[in-house]
Amino acid sequence: MTDTPLVVAPNLKRRLSGVTATVVRLIPVQATMIDIAATGPGLPPDIPHITLIRAATLPRDRWRVWHARRNTEMALGLILRHVLRRKYRLLFTSAAQRHHKALTRWLIRQQDALVATSPQAASYLERPATVILHGVDTQTFRPADDRAALRRDLGLDPDALLIGCFGRVRAQKGVDLLVQAGLDLLPDRPRAQILFTGRITPDNRAFADDLQARIGAAGLSDRIRFLGELPWDQVIAHYQALDLFAAPARWEGFGLTPLEAAACAVPTVAARVGAYETLIREGETGSLVPIGDAPALTAALARWLDDDAGRIRAGQAARAHVSRNHAIEGEARALVQVYNDLLART
């Protein structure tokens, strides 16, 4: 990478989020295809990177691409081009499956091109967009060589049936639905445990405290656990340690976690939100349930918990499906084609 990249991908958020994870996993792959760098705080040191000051002072000798994924990043791109007179083509990726607010609609209208992470997300944009589904790094996300040893290293029971749910702890993610399912399922399944990883923000502390009180009252605090926000390598290791993944969100933009689980040969039970209906093959790589339906979630989890052979087959099928259809290299190539199209404009 040079210090004058052709593409700049801003990440204007310090804490780990879905957008940050996308930048972290995509840029090293894209860097083998085009001169690209991230800018902004909170990124690992091995990611190709330039400072925000450098991004704002790149030479005006040619057009470059500013690839935003948040409103703040779209706004900064406009400032760079129209106030600081940098030669940036503006690109925005949208994952949202909802009607955009007025400010977002205005920012979107200022972009030179749009990408949507699913056909559903594209339908909420007022302009044509290139649909590029997210992919996953199947070399990083892969089955553990020795899952029992990995579990011991993580302090987890090697003989447990582990269900995971990863992401911020809040109602939007359906955490309460999975807790209720656990309260119903675990008393009759002594090997089953549920692990939540992810940050609890102050505005969701009362929500999490109430769930933990319910878990404690049921005597299941040692089997339904909230591990908090983990370093990225630990998140990957916990995927590899699972038997089953749950994604019971009430709303989701795209939803990358089932792909990451699948790449680790872990089947998923998910709500019909985001791109989950595209990513999960019913009965083959997991199950889909109606949004907000705790009894349906409970029944689907029970099906996979009680069928060891079927669950293992589904995990193998999930790994094969992701490797075939959702490898990150395909996403990277498609985005680089969009970059090259923008750079070629006269």
pLDDT at residue 126, as a whole number: 86
Residue 55: φ, ψ to 5°: -60, -30
The whole-angstrom separation of Cα 343 and Cα 339 is 6
Sheet bearing 7-10, strands edge to edge: 36-39, 7-10, 64-68, 88-94, 113-116, 130-131
Q: Which two tokens stand for residue 303?
A: 């099906």
Residue with tokens 């790149």: 58
C-alpha separations of 238 from 18, 229, 245, 346 in Å: 17, 12, 11, 48
pLDDT at residue 14, as a whole number: 72
The whole-angstrom separation of Cα 56 and Cα 66 is 11
Residue 7: φ, ψ to 5°: -130, 135
Eight-class DSSP state of 100:
P
Give the three-state DSSP class for 237.
helix
280 touches 274 (CB < 8 A): no
Please, what is the Cα angle at 60 between 57 and 62, to 5 degrees?
A: 130
Question: Domain ranges in the chain?
Answer: 7-135+327-343, 147-325
pLDDT at residue 16, as a whole number: 62
121 touches 97 (CB < 8 A): yes
**Exposure letters 278-305 (e unless 16+ CB within 10 A, then b):** ebbbeeebbbbbeebbbebbbbbbbebb
**What fold does the segment set 7-135+327-343 form as a domain?**
Rossmann fold (3.40.50)
Q: pTM surpassing 0.85?
A: no
pLDDT at residue 298, as a whole number: 98
154 touches 237 (CB < 8 A): yes
The whole-angstrom separation of Cα 302 and Cα 239 is 20
Tell the burial category of 241 from Cβ atoms under 10 Å away from its Cβ (0-12, 13-18, 19+): buried
The whole-angstrom separation of Cα 301 and Cα 50 is 45
* Within this chain, domains 7-135+327-343 and 147-325 share the same CATH topology: yes
The whole-angstrom separation of Cα 318 and Cα 246 is 14
* CATH architecture assignment, domain 147-325: 3-Layer(aba) Sandwich (3.40)
pLDDT along the chain (346 residues), means of 10: 91 78 89 96 88 96 97 97 97 90 96 93 92 91 95 96 94 96 96 95 95 97 95 93 96 85 97 85 94 96 96 96 92 97 92
Q: Which two tokens stand for residue 141?
A: 């996300």
